[in-house]
A and B are shown apart, each in its own frame.
Chain A
Amino acid sequence: MPEPLLVVEGLDVRYGPVSAVRGLGLEVHRGEIVGLIGPNGAGKTTTLHALMGLQAAQAGEVRLEGRPIRGLHPEAIARLGLGLVPEGRRIYADFTVAENLQLGIVGRGDRPGVEEDLAWIHELFPVVREFRDRPAGALSGGQQQQLAIARALAAGPRVLLLDEPSLGLAPKLVDTLFEALVQIRDRGVGVLLVEQRAQRTVALAARTHVLSNGAVSLTLAPSDAGDTDRLIAAYLA
């Protein structure tokens, strides 16, 4: 088995005396979706922020393509190939759609293949090309989410982190979103997906870790998606 794209071992994040993440470990391989679910306050967003360098981690190791990245600045981590689609999208509402996408390219560092990636992104999310000169704030919620993902993809990430991308989307748009995730995975990008839609995530991901009180309490396989009792039990644990 080749070295995973992303390896996290024994990750600890504390806010003062409060432990938010405790000894978390996970791996994301090339072309693989890994799910991270759990109740509010379990530490999912904190984990993503710690991986991205937005939140300091007190202990543990994070390796991207074998390279230790814990303690680096977020811009350095982004340039090494980790992309985050943050909760609430955080697109620049006053900027045009094209400018938002351009910001993703800024973070590319010297990774080649911009044109190719852009063509693929435009195919994946046609709105990004169609509305390129509109202010991003004028897009619908679902389109803004697509733009946020497109911006992260424009940086040519090895691993894409997504923080509750389906939040606030209509059911039909959630379908579109999950289909896009499959295409992103099939292009060889590793995906770490934080979600509230537990059942869909478990069904889609190669593995889904259930986080409770900052630690992985259970790991589920796609075959567990139909086992509602087990899912509920995992959340209540």
Chain B
Amino acid sequence: MTHVQALIDAIGLGAVYALIAVGIGLVFGVLRIINFAYGQLIMIAAYMLVFTQGWGDVIAILIAVAAAVFASLVMDRAVFRPLRNTSPATVLVATFAVSYLLQNLALLRYTYQNRPVGDSVGVLGGLNQAADIGSLHIRWITFVAIGTGAVALGTIALLLNRTSIGLQMRAAAADFHTARMVGVRANTVIMAAVAISGVLAALSAVILTVQSPQVTNTTGLSETIFVLIGVVVGGMTSLVAATLGGFLIGFANSFLGYELATQGSTSQTAVPFTSGVYLPSVIFVLVIIVLLLRPDGLFVRRGRAPVERV
């Protein structure tokens, strides 16, 4: 039965990572930019949940969504757009710079006020309680994460496949030059993608802060790194592949963590898998193997080169 519990927990984490993967993948699709600063959008949304403590959960979440969307749009306008015609390396380094800038800005909050790093969040805190189903012990937030992930991904799939702006976003992602030539407005499509990615960052922030209610300047950072790896493993050129990759890395992270820990503690071997110490190394070995075998991505049809940038 514990395996079932580990499985459900793993699906829960996979769902959050899938949301982040879509947020990163949508922007990559239209802009060919890997936004390393995506984690700081999550951080900004998380801090909004801190600042709005006591305003009620709904208002707090709405403000977090608005802040993440706003920050995402500002990032596009201030950084991505001026650098749109520069090399991918330049843009990637710029997003690193934005990421560290925002992390260090957040750190100022603690150094100047001389208190321990971190704020606690109480939004939707009740969801951190566990529900007991038979012998299973599963936190409500896990179900909420799975439900939110399914609804958000379903909504985005409908948007992309059933609406005009979705068609335009897909066209821009597949071939931006041709899209503009037939009249698709570049900035409209880019802003739509950037805004939706902001919404997803905020949703991820809400779930992550329920799971671990401590917000610091590195909130969202490790998740983003893991998801970026997952997105590359899945395949950057397809949003579906990138999303599956994000889900997979979250799933593997949680499931392997559980299974390895269990084995370590019962088998008394000389190699103690009892902590998470060995977990990243196991995952990264798998990542390297996948990338060696399928450099274009696990879920991408072969022989498709990445498309040129805008």
Taking Cβ atoms with an 8 Å cutoff, the residues of A that contact B are 52, 54, 73-75, 78-79, 83-84, 86, 90, 92, 94-95, 99, 102-104, 106-109, 151-152, 155
B170 within 8 A of A: yes
Cross-chain pairs A/B with CB under 8 angstroms, 7 sampled: A54-B177, A75-B184, A75-B186, A102-B164, A103-B167, A103-B179, A106-B184
B175 touches A92 (CB 8 A): yes
Is A78 a contact of B174 with CB atoms below 8 Å?
no
The residue of chain A having its C-beta at the shortest distance from the C-beta of B170 within the complex is A95
- Which A-chain residue is minimally distant from B161 (CB atoms)? A99
Query: B164 — nearest CB in chain A belongs to which residue?
Result: A106
Give me the 6 closest cross-chain CB pairs, A-B, nearest first.
Answer: A107-B183, A78-B183, A74-B180, A90-B178, A107-B182, A75-B180
Report Cα–Cα, A86/B178, bound state, in Å: 9
Assess whether A107 is in contact with B167, with CB atoms less than 8 Å apart: no
Give B contacts to A, CB under 8 Å.
164, 167-168, 170-171, 174-175, 177-186
Indicate the member of A75, A92, A95 with the most B CB atoms within 10 Å. A75
The answer to whether A152 touches B170, judged by C-beta atoms less than 8 angstroms apart, is no
**What is the bound-complex CA distance between A97 and B115, given in angstroms?**
61
Inter-subunit contact A54/B182 (CB<8 Å): no
User: Pick the contact of B182 from A73, A94, A151 — CB < 8 Å?
Assistant: A151
Most chain B CB within a 10 A radius of its CB, from A73, A78, A94, A108: A78
Residue of B164, B170, B175, B183 touching A75 (CB-CB under 8 A): B183
Report yes or no: A73 in contact with B186, Cβ–Cβ below 8 A: yes
Query: In the complex the two chains form, what is the Cα distance from A92 to B175 in whole Å?
Result: 8
Q: Roughly how many angstroms separate A92 CA and B171 CA in the complex, as a whole number?
A: 7
CB of B168 within 8 A of CB of A106, answer yes
Beta-carbon contact of B171 and A103 below 8 Å: yes
What residues on A are CB-neighbors of B180 within 8 Å?
A: 54, 73-75, 78
Cβ-neighbour of A74 out of B164, B167, B181 (below 8 A): B181
- A79 and B185 CA atoms in complex are apart in Å by 10
Q: How far is the CA of A86 from the CA of B181 in the complex (A)?
A: 9
**Interface pair B183/A94, CB less than 8 Å apart:** no
Chain A residues whose CB sits within 8 angstroms of the CB of B170 once the complex forms: 92, 95
Q: Is the CB of A102 within 8 A of B167?
A: yes
Known contacts A73-B186, A151-B182; is-contact A103 B168 (Cβ 8 Å): yes
Not counting A75-B186, A102-B164, A103-B171, a sample of 13 additional A-B residue pairs whose C-beta atoms are within 8 angstroms of each other reads A73-B180, A74-B180, A79-B183, A92-B170, A92-B175, A95-B167, A95-B174, A102-B167, A104-B183, A106-B167, A107-B184, A151-B182, A155-B182
Separation of A109 and B188 alpha carbons in the complex (Å) = 14
Q: Are A94 and B174 in contact (CB under 8 A)?
A: yes
Minimum C-beta distance from A21 to chain B (A): 19
Interface centre among B177, B178, B182 (most CB of A within 10 A): B182
The closest CB in chain A to the CB of B171 belongs to A103
Give the Cβ gap from B264 to chain A, nearest Cβ, in Å: 46
Chain B, Cβ-Cβ closest to A52: B181
Residue from A54, A99, A102, A103 with most neighbouring chain B CB atoms (10 Å)? A103
Question: What's the Cα separation between A54 and B310 when bound, in Å?
Answer: 12
Residues of B within 8 A of A92 (CB): 170-171, 174-175, 178
Q: How far is the CB of A88 from chain B (nearest CB, A)?
A: 10
Q: Which residues of A contact B181 (CB under 8 A)?
A: 52, 54, 74-75, 78, 84, 86, 90
Query: Are the CB atoms of B175 and A103 closer together than 8 Å?
Result: no
- Chain A contacts for B177, CB-based, 8 A: 54, 74, 90
Q: In the complex the two chains form, what is the Cα distance from A180 to B179 in whole Å?
A: 24
Query: CA of A46 to CA of B178 in the docked complex: distance in angstroms?
Result: 15
Chain A residues lying within 8 Å of B168, measured Cβ to Cβ, are 103, 106
Question: Measured between alpha carbons, how far is A204 from B297 in the docked complex, in Å?
Answer: 50
Residue numbers in B under 8 Å from A74 (CB-CB):
177, 180-181
| Cα-based distance from A95 to B177 in the complex (angstroms) | 16
A74 and B187 alpha carbons, distance in the complex (Å) = 12
Complex: A52 Cα to B181 Cα, angstroms: 7
Q: Across the interface, which residues of A come within 8 angstroms of B184, CB to CB?
A: 75, 103, 106-107
Q: Give complex CA distance A108, B181 in Å.
A: 12
Residues of A within 8 A of B185 (CB): 75
- Minimum CB–CB distance for A208 against chain B, Å: 24
CA distance A165 to B175 in the complex (A): 20
Name which residue of chain B comes closest to A155, CB basis.
B183
